[in-house]
């Protein structure tokens, strides 16, 4: 989907490079000839960036996204052309328990970075900010899927943090500051390399393979939409390419999903079924009834009609295919890690 020659020699900053999305995006940009700088607060080597052998091929700077002086130095010294702002505290449960820390990272981290870009914008051609479907807040099911012009009405801490970062990005993209920014609102993302086992799909795969016990965090009836990581990476790169060439895209917001909502329970059942563990799933099924879900939106999925109108985009990897690829990746990962 993205152009091969655009990225050759481009200086790219990825905040959150040691995360699931950031690591996959870094590998894709490297393959197309870009020079990658990533900021990491705490070096953790059990990530796709290190597991994939790419960490030695990127310029890793240890520091905090909320440090504006550090952001300024990176943008100036590395002559950054393109920035993907992915750094965030992403766990809903952590946000519920530690809202201040979540707001510091997700809100302050956003305006620290964008202010640094504003002060040193000469070479910056594109900034892609990762917002989230959670920024919309909770709408009645008859008003779903979300569309881009819905008001943001979040209540829970994580959702509020993403809405704030979203609005800050739009302010910097306005005529007042005129920064080249696109805001993305992705649904849940899954795929190979998602080594955060607080996420549903890797947690369920690990449990179905017998490496842990699956413990439901709710009643299983919450509705979500999932998109495969390869589609996500292709889109991020496409956004940067198009924004660099067309200033009219500045400030645009794009929903990214598949518009194929599923319940959490159905996803877990499918994972166990693909692995031939239907009998084990019957035990998991018994656990749902006693669980309540607190601090999370009940139903979320999005229309990608605007994205299709602008770029002709639609998801390339259907859920079953993506889930199969993800399961196969984790089989190899656990075999390497545990040896059985």
Q: 234: pLDDT confidence band, cut at 50, 70 and 90? A: very high
- 225: nearest Cα among 266, 267, 258: 258
Cα(222)–Cα(323) distance, rounded to whole angstroms?
19
Q: How far is CA 320 from CA 45, 228, 317, in A?
A: 29, 10, 8
Segment 277-288 mean pLDDT: 84
Q: How far is CA 98 from CA 74, 224, 289, in A?
A: 29, 24, 28
Mean of all residue pLDDT scores within the chain: 92
- Residue 28 has a pLDDT of 95
Peptide bond into 145 cis (omega under 30): yes
Q: 289: pLDDT confidence band, cut at 50, 70 and 90? A: confident
Q: Give backbone dihedrals phi and psi of 224, rounded to 5 degrees, phi first.
A: -140, 165
pLDDT tens string 27-42: 999 999 999 999 998 8
Domain 11-190+229-257+300-316 has CATH 1.20.1740.10: no
Contact 38, 60 (CB under 8 A): yes
Show the CA angle centred on residue 301, arms to residues 297 and 214, nearest 5°: 60
Q: Which two tokens stand for residue 203?
A: 């947690």
Q: Which two tokens stand for residue 286?
A: 């018994």
pLDDT tens string 87-138: 988 888 888 899 999 999 999 999 999 999 999 989 999 999 999 999 999 8
Q: Which residues are catalytic?
A: 158
Cα(277)–Cα(204) distance, rounded to whole angstroms?
11
């Amino acid at each position: 989907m993205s152009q091969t020659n655009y990225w050759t020699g481009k200086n790219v900053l990825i905040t959150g490079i040691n995360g699931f999305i950031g690591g996959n995006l870094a590998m894709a940009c490297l393959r197309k000839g870009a020079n990658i700088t990533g900021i990491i607060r705490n070096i953790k080597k059990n990530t796709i960036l290190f597991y994939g052998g790419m960490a030695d091929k990127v310029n890793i700077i240890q520091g905090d996204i909320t440090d504006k002086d550090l952001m300024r130095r990176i943008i100036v010294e590395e002559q950054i052309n393109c920035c993907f702002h992915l750094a965030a505290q992403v766990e809903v449960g952590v946000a519920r328990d530690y809202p201040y820390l979540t707001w510091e990272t997700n809100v302050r981290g956003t305006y620290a970075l964008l202010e640094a870009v504003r002060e040193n914008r000469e070479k910056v051609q594109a900034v892609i900010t990762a917002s989230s479907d959670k920024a919309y807040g909770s709408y009645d099911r008859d008003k779903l899927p979300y569309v881009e012009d819905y008001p943001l009405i979040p209540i829970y801490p994580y959702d509020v943090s993403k809405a704030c970062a979203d609005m800050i990005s739009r302010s910097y993209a306005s005529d007042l500051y005129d920064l080249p920014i696109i805001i993305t609102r992705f649904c849940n993302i899954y795929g190979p390399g998602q080594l955060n086992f607080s996420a549903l799909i890797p947690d369920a795969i690990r449990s179905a393979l017998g490496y842990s016990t699956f413990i439901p965090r709710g009643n299983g009836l919450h509705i979500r939409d999932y998109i495969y990581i390869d589609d996500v990476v292709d889109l991020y790169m496409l956004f940067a390419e198009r924004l660099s060439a067309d200033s009219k895209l500045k400030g645009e917001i794009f929903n990214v999903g598949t518009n194929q909502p599923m319940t959490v329970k159905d996803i877990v059942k499918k994972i166990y079924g693909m692995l031939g563990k239907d009998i084990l799933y019957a035990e998991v099924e018994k656990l749902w009834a006693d669980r309540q879900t607190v601090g999370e939106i009940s139903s979320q999925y999005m229309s990608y009609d605007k994205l299709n109108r602008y770029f002709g985009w639609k998801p390339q990897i259907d859920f079953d295919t993506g889930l199969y690829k993800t399961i196969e990746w984790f089989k190899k990962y656990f075999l390497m890690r545990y040896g059985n």
